[in-house]
Amino acid sequence: MVTFLPARPGRLADVPAFTRAIGGAESNVACALAAAGHRARWVGRVGRDGFGDHLVETIAGYGVDVGAVRRDPHRPTGVYFRTATDRAADAHEVVYYRAGSAASAMSPATVPYSSVADARILHLTGITAALSADCLALMRELTAPRPGRPLVSFDVNHRPGLWRRGDAADVLLGLARRADLVFVGADEAETLWGVADPAAVRAVLPEPAGLVVKAGGEGAVLFERPAPRADTVTRVPAPGADTPTRAHVPAPAPGADTVTHVPAPRVDVVAPVGAGDAFAAGFLSGTLRGLDARARLRHGHLMAAAALTVPGDLAFPPARHPAPTPHGAAARRPSWIDHADRLAALDEADWGTLHLGPGWTVHPGPDQEVRTP
């Protein structure tokens, strides 16, 4: 959807002008992943109007595949207006104009599973589920258990202004329990399910193999259960015989969670929006790269810092340069990711003093050091 950013702080009633930008949790994640050098596809539905043109062209400009986006000639592209304050602040205002939008017409009939089946990760959010009954049916279809499905990532992304039916808590819990990886803010969990402590959130959501509980400036906690090994067939000697026979050995029971906490770095915030989507993108980028738990969480924090240090929801994609892949082919990898890798590899003491401000994503020269208080 298209978002309108206020020209100055204050109530919506007092803001005289707005700047047009792109918005939408799923497209934000897709853009951030593409900016990080990954192949990303955005599957959506926009109106056949000027705002739809702007969305598709801008998202494609980030390197995102928009070939599966459908244009609706009868419904408009959704828009929303917001104030400059943090979403968690009492003074924050947001007004959505998404009822009857092109996105609200998404359904299992208009978004075929084949459009996402070949992905390594399918990222979904609770925002889509709030748009209409058809959108909720689509979400249930995409999160349904099926052989060979992509890793299903689900960001709860509770937006009270979109939930008119009063069933957000039950719907979002049901969808989260069908996912493989879930992102949720501690504040969201408290609002929805009455729990905020990460361990208590895990007790409410034991099903996903991975659960990330975000607590803003305090950092994030990852609960991760080892993937169960498949049943095996081995050869064992039969009683009284020397010749081994085949025997079925069931897979061991799933192990206990590995719990990893990573504090957030200090950030000079320019605009307190977009951090949640950016965190998910950074974590998913680390997942695609096969990084360990600490590195994935740190890349989530770093991507969130990239969003917090620019005025809008998204930083403009950094300049990219070709880099060799293990197979010798050329890949488009932004130089700031190399910088982020170095920051993510800091020892605990240096990570604890990391201080990021506007412009930190610019690749530093050899004479520059990590900024500390």
Locate 315 and state its tokens. Answer: 């930083």
Residues with catalytic function: 277
Question: What is the C-alpha to C-alpha distance for residues 155 and 179, in angstroms, rounded to an integer?
Answer: 10
Unique residue bearing structure tokens 């905020």? 196
Lowest-pLDDT choice from 103-117, 147-161, 220-234: 220-234
pTM for this prediction: 0.85
Q: What is the mean pLDDT of residues 339-359?
A: 93
Q: Are 197 and 190 in contact (CB under 8 A)?
A: no
Q: What is the pLDDT of the chain when averaged over all its residues?
A: 84
Question: What is the C-alpha to C-alpha distance for residues 332 and 334, in angstroms, rounded to an integer?
Answer: 7
pLDDT reading at 77 higher than 50: yes
Give per-residue pLDDT as tens, 11-66: 999 999 998 988 889 999 999 999 888 999 999 999 999 999 999 999 999 999 99
Give per-residue pLDDT as tens, 130-189: 999 999 999 999 999 999 999 999 999 999 888 888 899 999 999 999 999 999 999 999
The pLDDT of residue 22: 87
Give per-residue pLDDT as tens, 237-250: 444 544 444 444 44
Unique residue bearing structure tokens 């950013």? 5
Decide: residue 109, CB within 10 A, 0-12 exposed, 13-18 middle, 19+ buried. exposed
Alpha-carbon distance values, 277 to 10, 66, 123, 156, 159 (Å): 24, 19, 11, 11, 13
Alpha-carbon distance values, 266 to 107, 219, 348 (Å): 41, 10, 14
If we measure between CA atoms, which residue out of 39, 43, 15 comes closest to residue 27?
43
Higher pLDDT: 256 or 84? It is 256
The pLDDT of residue 237: 45
Locate 145 and state its tokens. Answer: 């258990």
pLDDT reading at 329 higher than 60: no
